[in-house]
A and B are shown apart, each in its own frame.
Chain A
């Protein structure tokens, strides 16, 4: 194998390990953290880099084997656009569950949050 091939394989392995690590941390966070809103942080972030690294590894591998593929760029773009939206929906469900109680947080008195809106 050529010098470049070995270097690329090392890069791919490093990216795969990095991706696996961050995905694992995301899952650990999901179990470890103690309230719903905090739990939301681990998967929305740790997984972006996790999946990102895995996709980058897949892309380098595809170019190395001569069948270049750029689908991964699209996967990444869609992931970055949709992750905040699902995160926002889970947060809204949390707000609804805390409605009427002050278990979640005090809403500033001069503003009504969209989730609590009566209109």
Chain B
């Protein structure tokens, strides 16, 4: 019964918060309407989103996000240094193939997004069977190091959160 009324508790909370931010003021009415939207929209869209992965560990998700935000800060400085101080012929752009252990589509999406936002890597494509990710690295000495780094830093954590 509860799972029918609240098919996606995180989406409910997220929608309520986004609504309050959009209205840009904290009043009882705003929050009530935000919660109302948060309850209604997941129920209305539940049919289009079967097999939602349950988010097992919200605390871990939060710490994952903090790590990613920190990496984004570092990535910006690193990429800025590369762009400004490295000549084009010294640059070692590389394609990296990352064999995936993740199977949940949502988790792979998060991994691909994280890779694009973090140090010198952009995710370009997924293999047809969804078991490998193609990543472009701006300046990498060794493709295997990039792959190992991503697997250890992000994929391992996402696997703990989603699977």
Give residues in A with beta carbon < 8 Å to B: 21-22, 25, 28-29, 32-35, 37-38, 40-42, 44-46, 48-49, 69-71, 73-74, 80-81, 83-85, 87-88, 91-92, 94-95, 105-108, 111-115, 117, 119
Contact call B134/A113, Cβ cutoff below 8 A: yes
Known: A25-B80, A84-B123, A114-B127. A70 touches B116 (CB 8 A): no
**A94→B97 CA distance, assembly (Å):** 17
Interface residues on B, range: 35 or more
Q: Which 10 residue pairs of A and B lie closest in terms of their CB atoms, listed nearest first? A: A84-B116, A49-B76, A91-B124, A29-B83, A84-B113, A105-B95, A111-B127, A41-B138, A25-B80, A112-B128
Contact call B22/A113, Cβ cutoff below 8 A: no
Residues of A with C-beta under 8 A to B116 = 44, 83-84, 87-88
Min CB gap B10→A, angstroms:
14
Cβ-defined partner of A91 (8 Å) among B73, B117, B122:
B122
Contact call A45/B128, Cβ cutoff below 8 A: no
The count of A-to-B residue pairs whose CB atoms sit within 8 angstroms is 117
Interface residues of B in 57-100 (CB under 8 A from A): 72-73, 75-76, 79-80, 83-84, 88, 91, 93, 95, 97
**A29→B88 CA distance, assembly (Å):** 11
Chain A at the B interface: SS class: helix
Contact call A37/B93, Cβ cutoff below 8 A: yes
Cβ-defined partner of A37 (8 Å) among B18, B76, B88, B122:
B122
* Given contact pairs A81-B113, A88-B116, a sample of 20 additional A-B residue pairs in the complex whose CB atoms are under 8 Å apart: A25-B80, A28-B84, A29-B83, A40-B136, A41-B120, A44-B116, A46-B76, A48-B117, A49-B76, A71-B21, A91-B124, A91-B136, A107-B134, A108-B132, A111-B127, A111-B129, A111-B132, A113-B127, A113-B134, A114-B128
